[in-house]
Structure 1
Amino acid sequence: MNHFSTEYQQQRAWVNINHQALINNVQALKSLLNPHTQLMAVIKADAYGHGAVKVAQTILQSGVDSLAIATLPEGIELREAGIVVPIMILGAINSIEQVKDIVEYNLEPTLCTPHQASIFVETLAQLNATLPVHLKLDTGMSRLGTHWHNAVDFVQYIQQFPQLQLASIYSHLATADDVDTSVTKLQHSRFEEAISALKASGIKIPRLHLANSAGTLLDRTLHYDMVRVGLALYGISPAPHLKDKVKLQPALEVKARITQIKTLSPGTGVSYGHTFKCDRSTTIAVVGIGYADGIPRLLSNKMKVIIRGKFAQQIGNITMDQLMLNVSNFSDLEVGEVVTLLGKEGDLEVTADDWASSIGTISWEILCSFKHRLPRVVI
């Protein structure tokens, strides 16, 4: 008997995206917010591997107010798909041609320095256009942004130019997912000092935002006028100690199909390098998915998958297109049966956090790693 739906019989492997989980996560996150605080959904990197266009279409019907992406092409893709809400570009744009595209596609850039702003002013003047812009202050991330001490000078410089419409001022938290909140508190106080200095200079304060997913879950005083939520939107807590703040549901599952079953004699090595050798007669299943699809090779001999509601151990080095499982404890498995690599089946679950902790990385990287040769299937 084959234990899989005929709908996916032609696929060797695929990614399921549960859009009801996305809707539930949006509603759960909004329940944490003050009434005046908006929810900006971060859908960069193809919505963390979930499919940016379809994710945007779903979450915008569920209470998300605006979107954030990292690169210009990501914003263009959303506009060409008919998305009309405000879209902020988180990355720094420094070329005249890109500025022209931002104007054409009605996107909202982040300005990090006066020099970058001058490129926008020059181009916008040529186009006789205006543009909403978001100013980024560096309060401790040490990445993009003008130093928070220079907030007044930066804003005053921007306000010289009618082409630039100040939409918001923001910063980004570096350690909001840490148990130790001292750095987050320091960044928060620096952000507050910058805003106070702006007010003292007579500058009208636009919208303010500081909190990422961790900051959103951590403390309402970090919420301001808007929060920028990425990882939590997709159902994963940014830190174990924040999991109880709100009930989130992972929206992504990875499935693949068994392509061959064979029995190996004791002493037989499995896969490149023979990092696993059978100590007894062992039945293995070959599965049609590998590191070219986004399964980390570092998970070799460490990961478990779910078949028929039971765990099976992966063995041998994961290869580019395939991996092997020890299925000696299963009976009557057939070629074509579905394996759950990430996701829940019955009472068992394998999460991106499980993979990340096994190989010393973060769940963000796991989600973003799944390649586009894996079809995304909305369930």
Structure 2
Amino acid sequence: MVGWQQQSKAYSAEKQFNSLSLLVSRQRAWIEINLSALAHNVRTLKDFLAPQTRLMAVVKADAYGHGAVTVAKTALANGADCLAIATLSEGVELRQAGITSPILILGAVNAPEDIKAIAAWELEPTICNPEQALAFASTMTGLGKSLLVHLKLDTGMSRLGTNWQEATPFVQFVQKLPNLEIASIYSHFATAEESDRRIMNLQHQRFRQVIEQLKVEGFVSPSIHLANSAATLSDRTTHYDRVRVGLALYGLYPADHLQQVIELKPVLQLKAKIAQVKTIPAGEGVSYGRKFITQKDTKVAVVGIGYADGIPRNLSNRLRAIVSGQLVSQIGSITMDQLMLNVDHLTDVQPGDTVTLIGQQNKLSITADDWANALDTISWEILCGFKHRLPRINVN
């Protein structure tokens, strides 16, 4: 019986591999999502937290380009307690996929029809000010039902939320409104990824002051949360009842100085196929604007991916890729659907060969951080920039 089960598992694995190979063979470019790496990151983060601290997986922006439904289900299956998204539609997508866990909407919603939809889909909104609270209370009273809400305080981010100095009357105001039940009070750090902790400490001090003042006034919030990925890794005193983890979930560190805290594994790899290999004579320009001129006869691989897929055009002549286990340079302007690689030093490169643009091959690695550093931006922007015409293929 055991032998039969092993054969069955082997058959299933082979069938899955063949299906994956067939799916990849039909793509010009794609993103691979390593669900084992994602599961590892969730479990590692969960183990890093105190037992009473819940892990909120941030899956907004289609899970930072990784695929919200798949990421949410994998995160919940491996220890995440709840989810956070940015918009109503993102929350509806998760509910329609059968996800029943608590879902916090981090963005602000004001329209009565949207409030009704939040109630219908049993989502949990963020309330940022008294006017918004009144709109929610009025709509919910009309529906004859109550709603869990989360109150957002501005402790120094200067974005959504009521100013921390007005927090106590704000919370007391919401407490008195009908059909609203306060689920948590939270705030957000502006500089948690920086090694200079002064602003972060100031925000934390303000947040603690609000919480203590509320206790004096007789209110104890059912839940308190403050930490994003950077704060989660850098300061355990910010963990409170739950932490909101986004970037670390996907295997990237918010800052270099946090890389030694826990071991994270990158979840996303970006790959494409070579469409044509050709030799360009010396002195010829490559791509629009002739931003690259060949100095000698040069073998070039044309790859089926471009800025319409989310590769920033400003990476032109700065991008690197891995082909046949070797690093190669991108040359010429990146175009809408294609880019060119200098493969002059490769002896055997053919149309259909796979190019790794972000990911690992042998001992070589290219990361979203590499792109971000070249562009003087952040890895969050890189991940969120990959377009939906790139299929997400789940691998283990």
| Match of residue 136 from structure 2 | 120
Q: Which amino acid aligns with 1:167?
A: A
Pairing partner for 2:85 from 44, 69, 86: 69
Structure 2: distance between partners of 1:184 and 1:35: 24
Classify the secondary structure of the residue corresponding to 2:371: helix
Quick check: 1:90 aligned with 2:115?
Answer: no
SS at the partner of 1:185? Answer: helix
* Residue identity matched to 1:146: T
Structure 1 or 2: more helix by fraction? 2
1:129 aligns with 2:177: no
CA offsets per residue over residues 240-290 of structure 1, 9 Å max, x none?
Answer: 011111100110000000001100111110000111000111000000000
- Where does residue 290 of structure 1 map in the other structure? 306
Residue type of the partner of 2:337? D
Residues 206-285 of structure 1: pairs in structure 2 closer than 5 A: 206-285=222-301
TM-score by length of 1: 0.98
Indicate if the aligned counterparts of 2:194 and 2:255 stay in contact, CA closer than 8 A: yes
The 3-state SS of whatever aligns with 1:339 is strand
CA separation in 2, counterparts of 1:96 and 1:70?
18
User: TM-score under structure 2 normalisation?
Assistant: 0.94
**Is 2:182–2:221's contact at 8 Å kept on the other side of the alignment?**
no
CA positional deviation for 1:42: 0.3
Q: Which residue of 2 aligns with 1:50?
A: 66
Instruction: Give deviations 1:10-69, integer Å, cap 9, x for gaps.
Output: 110000000001100011111221111000000000000000001111111000000000
Unaligned runs of 5+ in 2: 1-19
> 5, 30, 35: which is aligned to 2:46?
30
Moved over 6 A (4+): none
Distance 2:23 2:94 in 1: 28
2:32 counterpart SS class = strand
How many angstroms apart in 2 are the aligned matches of 1:342 and 1:356? Answer: 12
SS in 1 for 2:263: coil
Q: Which ranges of structure 1 fall in alignment gaps of 5 or more residues?
A: none
In 2, the alpha carbon distance for the partners of 1:167 and 1:216 equals 21
| Residue identity (%) | 58
Write the distance in 1 (CA, Å) between the matches of 2:22 and 2:350. 15
CA distance in 2, matches of 1:308, 1:214: 36
Counterpart AA for 2:227: A
**3-state DSSP of counterpart to 2:79:** coil
Report matched runs for 1:163-202 at 5 Å. 163-202=179-218
Distance 1:200 1:270 in 2: 69
User: For residues 55 and 24 of structure 2, what CA distance do their matches in structure 1 show?
Assistant: 35
- The counterpart of 1:20, out of the listed 36, 40, 52, is 36
2:334 aligned partner: 318
Aligned pairs (5 A) from 1:143-182: 143-182=159-198
Of 332, 348, 354 in structure 1, the residue corresponding to residue 348 of structure 2 is 332
Q: Quick one: which of 304, 309, 319 aligns to 2:320?
A: 304
Q: 2:95 corresponds to which residue?
A: 79
Alignment of 1:108 onto 2:130 = no
User: Is the 2:151–2:185 Cα contact (8 Å) retained in structure 1?
Assistant: yes
- Cα deviation for residue 7 of structure 1 reads 4.2
Match of 1:140 in 2: 156
Output the CA distance in 2 between the equivalents of 1:332 and 1:254: 22
Structure 1, residues 158-206: CA drift from partner, whole Å, max 9, x if none?
A: 1102311110000000000001010000000000000011011111222
| Counterpart-to-counterpart distance in 2, 1:116 and 1:258 | 52
Aligned-residue Cα RMSD (Å) equals 0.9
SS at match of 2:340: strand
**2:76 matched to which residue of 1?**
60
Equivalent-residue separation in structure 2 for 1:364 and 1:378 (angstroms): 20
Shift of 1:370: 0.5
Contact 2:269/2:358, CA 8 A, preserved across alignment: yes
**CA distance in 2: counterparts of 1:7 and 1:142, whole angstroms:** 46
How many angstroms apart in 1 are the aligned matches of 2:23 and 2:387? 21
Deviates more, 1:93-102 or 1:23-32: 23-32
Name the CA distance, whole Å, in 1 between partners of 2:346 and 2:169: 68
Distance, in Å, in 1 between the alignment partners of 2:50 and 2:353 is 47
Q: Distance between the aligned counterparts of 1:34 and 1:132, measured in 2?
A: 25
Aligned residues: 376
Aligned residue identity for 1:87: I
| Alignment partner, residue 386 of structure 2 | 370
Native 8 Å contact 2:141 2:178 kept in 1: no
Alpha-carbon separation, structure 2, partners of 1:361 and 1:153: 39
CA distance in 2, matches of 1:23, 1:139: 33
The match for 2:12 is none
